[in-house]
Amino acid sequence: MAAASKIMTMQQAVSRFVQSGDTLSFSGFTTNRKPYAAVHEILRQGQTDFTLWGGPAGGEQDLLIGEGRVRIFINCYTANSGFSNVLRRYRAAIEQGKILFEDYSMDVVMMMFHAAALGLAFLPIRLMQGSDLVNMWGVSREVRANEPTLDNEKLVIVENPFSPGEQVVALPIPRIDCAILHVQQASPDGTCVIEGDEFGDVDMAVASRKTIVTCEEIVSNEYIRRDPTRPRIFGACVDAVVHAPYGAWPSQCYGYYDDDVDALREYDSASRYYDAEDAARILQAEALKKGIAYDPEKQVETFVDYLEKYVYSVPDHAALLDKLGAARLIGLKNVPGLGYAASAE
């Protein structure tokens, strides 16, 4: 009996499987295989009030935070590595008290995803002891008690029952409503090939109640099984498969294309200011600090401008690719055997 096809449009997948108030997690690592096309569609459709488990997060989560779609952010590292070493809208949201934020170490977050995939009740570790990550909580017990997507404790120090006198850190397990992953290849039944580092993606797919996969290529169920060593995600873990070439743009997708350096630099500059009013305030303060005249006529691109340019002014991902243009996208393509674009030599 042939497996049922899970292929959907991006609009269908996001509408069906992403709901306001959900706890979400995303594939990849800062600027590697980030599911930007799906995040753009979430922004267009308007879902909000998310709890994000980000590890390690990139600009795709910064977009949601900057647009006010995130209420709680649980993370270890948030950057467009090499471009924005601390992403700007995320930092502004924390400084302005606009989101609840909890911080764990990077290795611990990866272990928490794995523990969720294994179905563990909690995760006992030796890590983080002796650091401020144990003692300093971003979200207090009092606030946690009224937040259904958060556990009542960030962590609990317990005695190792197999080694009396030894203390270990007991951590909660992520309860993910929807994982959104970008992969290189997927078949109609949801089986996925991930080239390069998998990061926490497989664990997210197994642990999540719903999983949306966007992919560079859709291949047949028969083709993806020709080499049983290549598939990384079992089709039963996946609810929707969306064909989205360049779906990780402006981040890279190993074996297919590089980071769009110009776009990531543009975002770093634009995301410094939320809108024109915010830009005027910041530029005026900088001019005063430097002892130079403030020019009220100076125009700068803002976060709002960037979103309008690349998200809201186009109806879907295909229209964004048309806007970017073939020459720009072809210039990012990896050269077989090199693993990076020729322009990056």
Is 13 part of any domain?
no
Average pLDDT value for the chain: 95
Q: What does the alpha-carbon distance between residue 298 and residue 62 come to, in Å, rounded to a whole number?
A: 26
How far is residue 31's CA from residue 213's CA, in Å, rounded to a whole number? 18
Q: Round to whole Å and give the CA distance between 131 and 243.
A: 43
Which of 243 and 56 is assigned the larger pLDDT? 243
Average pLDDT over residues 135-160: 96
Measured in residues, the chain has a length of 345
Rounded distance, CA 211 to CA 23, Å?
12
Indicate the pTM of the whole model: 0.95
Whether residue 46 is contained in a domain is answered as no
Cis ω before 250 (30° cut-off from 0)? yes
Asked if residue 270 belongs to a domain, the reply is yes
Long-range contacts of 16-19 (CB under 8 A, 24+ apart): 16/240, 17/178, 17/210, 17/212, 17/239, 17/240, 18/42, 18/45, 18/47, 18/178, 18/180, 18/212, 19/47, 19/177
Determine, yes or no, domain membership for 285.
yes
Q: Give the model's confidence band at 340: pLDDT under 50 very low, under 70 low, under 90 confident, else very high.
A: confident
Q: What is the pLDDT of residues 25-60, one digit of tens each?
A: 999 999 999 999 999 999 999 999 999 998 889 999
300, part of any domain: yes
What local confidence, expressed as pLDDT, does residue 2 receive? 61
Q: Is residue 280 part of a domain?
A: yes
Asked, for residue 93, whether it belongs to a domain, the answer is no
Range of the domain at 298: 261-344
Go through 18-40 and write b for each residue having 16 or more CB atoms within 10 A of its CB, e for each that does not: beeebbbbbbbbbbbbbbbbbbb
H or E segment and range at residue 180 = strand 178-186
| Listed residue (128, 72, 67, 76) closest to 101, CA to CA | 72
178-186 and 23-26 beta bridge pairing:
parallel
Q: Are 65 and 26 within 8 A, CB to CB?
A: no
| Residue 61 included in any domain | no
Query: pLDDT band at 343, cuts 50/70/90?
Result: low
User: Sorting pLDDT into bands at 50, 70 and 90, what band is 336?
Assistant: confident
Residue 339 has pLDDT above 80, yes or no: no
What total number of domains does the chain contain? Answer: 1
Neighbouring residues of 264: CB distance < 8 A, sequence distance ≥ 6: 31, 59, 80, 83, 84, 250, 251
The Cα angle at residue 71 between residues 68 and 73, in degrees rounded to 5: 110
Residue written as tokens 């400084």? 95
Nearest to 52 by CA among 204, 214, 253: 204
